[in-house]
Structure 1
Amino acid sequence: MDFRTIGCVELNSVAWGMHIADEMVKSASVKIVLARPTCPGRYIVIISGDTSAVQSAVEVGRELGADMTVDSFTIPSVHPDVLPAMSGTTVAPKIDALGVIETYTTAACILAADAAAKSAEVQLIEVRMAAGLAGKSYVTMTGDVGSVRAAVESGVAGVGEAGPVHSHVVIPSPSEELKPHLM
């Protein structure tokens, strides 16, 4: 499947999340990339397809979710590092500088990861989605210090109106003790 355009609806209800996932795929020619509960009792639906179909399905999800909708997005031309970082299939890179962006929603974190990866020569390490994080999510990335600083700045700005960023940091030279705990 071509994962060029992805869309997301994050909901405050597991039951409604399942219902919305079903309605989204019935409303347009899209495929589910991910549909699962996250903390604290939220549900995330990520779909893929052509841009207009994804936009249409996300709008259906937002409308049906109404006040249960926490966040949403559509990303045309998603960066190729985003999905492997979300699924934990990133090949462990050599870690130079480390950048971290922590957000209040999973959708905002994915937006930050995409914006960061598109803005500078960095490699995404992981997008950790809300599991055991009280609903927050974070993305980690590596590269040279200047690239990581630029990527973190762009990632924070890339969240836009999706929700506030909780925190962000650039660690110019992470310790060897920390590195094994990053993936």
Structure 2
Amino acid sequence: MKEMDTIGFLELNSIAKGIETVDYMLKAADTQLLMAKASCPGKYYIMLCGQVGAVERSIKVGTEIGGRYIVGELLIPRVNPAVIQAVNMSKIPDKVQAVGVLEYYSATGSIIAADYAVKAANVELISIQLGTGIAGKSFVVLTGDVASVKTAVEAGSEGAKKKAMLINKIVLPNPQKELVDSLIQ
């Protein structure tokens, strides 16, 4: 497989249809599955990566198979690699000057917002939490200096507003270490 610079994501409100959809998506094009999992409240998330054309084909097939069960979809060419890393694992940087949080009603919103945020300012993603145990909501946690975090949070909320409903956004200067540690548990 050539360089994987694009991610595709589908959010379905049926687990069974999600399992069927991911199989068809993987058979449709040369893509790599990054995540396929059930989540609260009975949603199913599919994330894959590859070259733009391949991911576009997989998403097209996925939306056809998923049909009325699709509640969110996205395709991000030239995605920042930090977005993929933050979905797959959480980490706390050595030094935290400020923390920003963007909270959405859907997983799609957090993925889009995270990509806009890291492209807009010198910030580091701590995590992207996608719906598990939080009633299908999602949130992005990022860090950097206060000005960069403010810029990133604004860019993330603006970038995702056409695709997802923002619940809330915050910037905390000099957060307590215990709070920061709790963000990835």
Instruction: Report the TM-score range of the alignment, normalised by the length of the smaller protein.
Output: over 0.9
Map of 1:142-157 to 2, 5 A cutoff?
A: 142-157=143-158
Residue of structure 1 in register with 2:175 after alignment: 174
- Is the CA contact (8 Å cut-off) linking 2:90 and 2:128 kept in structure 1? no
Correspondence 1:102 to 2:103 = yes
Q: What TM-score does the superposition give when structure 2 sets the normalisation length?
A: 0.94
Aligned residue number for residue 138 of structure 1: 139
Structure 1 residues 125-175: Cα deviation after superposition (integer angstroms, max 9, x where no partner): 000111111000101000011100010001011113222111111111212
Kindly state the Cα deviation for residue 63 of structure 1 after the two structures are TM-superposed: 2.1
Structure 1 residue 89: Cα displacement: 4.8
| 89 and 174 in structure 1: CA distance in 2 versus 1, 3 angstrom threshold | closer
Change (3 A) 1:58 1:11: same
- What is the rounded CA distance, in whole Å, between the counterparts of 2:137 and 2:92 in structure 1? 24
User: CA–CA distance in 1 between the matches of 2:110 and 2:128?
Assistant: 7
Task: Note the C-alpha offset of 1:179.
Answer: 2.1
Map 1:33-48 → 2, pairs under 5 A: 33-48=34-49
Runs of 4+ in 1 over 6 A off after TM superposition: none
SS in 1 for 2:178: coil
Three-state SS of the structure 2 residue aligned to 1:167 is strand
CA distance in 1 between counterparts of 2:81 and 2:151 reads 19
Q: Distance between the aligned counterparts of 1:38 and 1:90, measured in 2? A: 21
Which 10-residue stretch deviates more, 89-98 or 19-28? 89-98
Structure 1 counterpart of 2:47, one-letter code: I
Local SS of the residue matching 1:161: coil
Q: Partner of 2:116 in structure 1?
A: 115
Q: Please give the alpha-carbon distance, in whole angstroms, between the structure 2 residues aligned to 1:162 and 1:93.
A: 33
CA contact (8 A) 1:84 1:90 kept: no
CA contact (8 A) 1:93 1:125 kept: no
Displacement, 1:19?
A: 0.4
Unpaired runs of 5+ residues, structure 1, are none
**CA distance in structure 2 between the aligned counterparts of 1:131 and 1:99, rounded to whole angstroms:** 20
Superimposed CA distance per residue, residues 90-135 of structure 1 (whole angstroms, 9 cap, x where no aligned partner): 3534211100000111121111111101100000000011111100
Identity rate of aligned residues, in percent?
A: 39
1:55 aligns with 2:56: yes
- Deviation for aligned residue 1:65: 1.3
Segments of 5+ residues of structure 2 without an aligned counterpart are none
What root-mean-square deviation, in Å, do the aligned CA atoms of Structure 1 and Structure 2 show? 1.3
User: For the Cα contact (< 8 Å) 1:104–1:163, is it kept in 2?
Assistant: yes
- 1:13-70 CA distances to partner (integer Å, 9 max, x unpaired)? 1000000000111111212111011111000010111101101211211122121001
Distance 2:138 2:90 in 1: 17
Q: Using the alignment, how far apart are the partners of 1:129 and 1:35 within structure 2? A: 12
Measured at CA, do residues 146 and 179 of structure 1 come closer, stay the same or move farther in structure 2, by a change above 3 Å? same
